[in-house]
């Protein structure tokens, strides 16, 4: 049987992804970070840009373990994300996934305000955990 050239690259990616956690995470990043970089950059405190992107959203460097609305240089946080930050919550894999899946619902749950709405109009229905791992690895 002749090898099908159209499926060959896909088969190769699968092999890479199964080769180790890091290869899998890197691949997930490539497809998902595209949904974020329009608005987000990942920039280390020394100014090194680890993932280039836009500036209409906060810097996502060190987001794992960071307080909500914790980018002191970002001046456009919504009142509702700031209100959620008043709970003292910090970003972890679970609340990150909840936020990415439905930002408005997340803020309503955390603040108890049924009218809370996010300044980020993006919903990531799958792959949020991989993006979180990617951001955490990038910031280490
Ligand atoms: C259209 C622009 C836009 C896109 C695309 C976008 N974001 Fe955002 N993001 C924002 C804005 C604006 C905020 C601030 C929201 C607020 O204040 O309510 C934000 C906030 C966040 C926060 C909270 C940060 C903090 O400091 O508490 C996280 C985490 C986040 N975004 C992750 C992502 C990820 C992951 C993606 C890609 C799947 C993404 N965003 C795509 C604009 C965007």
Average pLDDT along the chain, 140 residues, taken 10 residues at a time:
48 41 48 89 95 96 98 97 98 97 98 97 91 91
Under 8 Å between Cβ of 66 and 91 = yes
Residue 5 is encoded by which pair of tokens? Answer: 């050239």
Distance CA 10, CA 27 (A): 12
Residue 113 is encoded by which pair of tokens? Answer: 């305000």
Nearest CA to ligand 1 atom 2: 39
> What are the residues whose beta carbons fall under 8 Å from the beta carbon of 62, sequence distance 6 or more?
139
At residue 140, the pLDDT reads 84
At residue 125, the pLDDT reads 87
Atom of ligand 1 nearest to the CA of 82: 17
Atom of ligand 1 nearest to the CA of 77: 17
> What are the residues whose beta carbons fall under 8 Å from the beta carbon of 73, sequence distance 6 or more?
59
């Amino acid at each position: 049987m002749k090898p099908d050239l159209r499926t060959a690259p896909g088969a190769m990616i699968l092999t890479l992804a199964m080769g180790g956690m890091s290869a899998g995470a890197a691949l997930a990043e490539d497809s998902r970070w595209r949904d974020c970089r329009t608005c987000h950059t990942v920039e280390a405190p020394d100014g090194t840009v680890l993932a280039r992107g836009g500036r209409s959203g906060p810097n996502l460097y060190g987001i794992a373990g960071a307080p909500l609305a914790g980018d002191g240089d970002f001046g456009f946080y919504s009142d509702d994300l700031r209100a959620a930050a008043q709970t003292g919550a910090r970003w972890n894999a679970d609340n990150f996934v909840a936020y990415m899946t439905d930002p408005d619902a997340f803020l309503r749950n955390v603040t108890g305000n049924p009218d809370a709405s996010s300044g980020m109009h993006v919903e990531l229905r799958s792959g949020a955990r991989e993006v979180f791992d990617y951001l955490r690895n990038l910031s280490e």
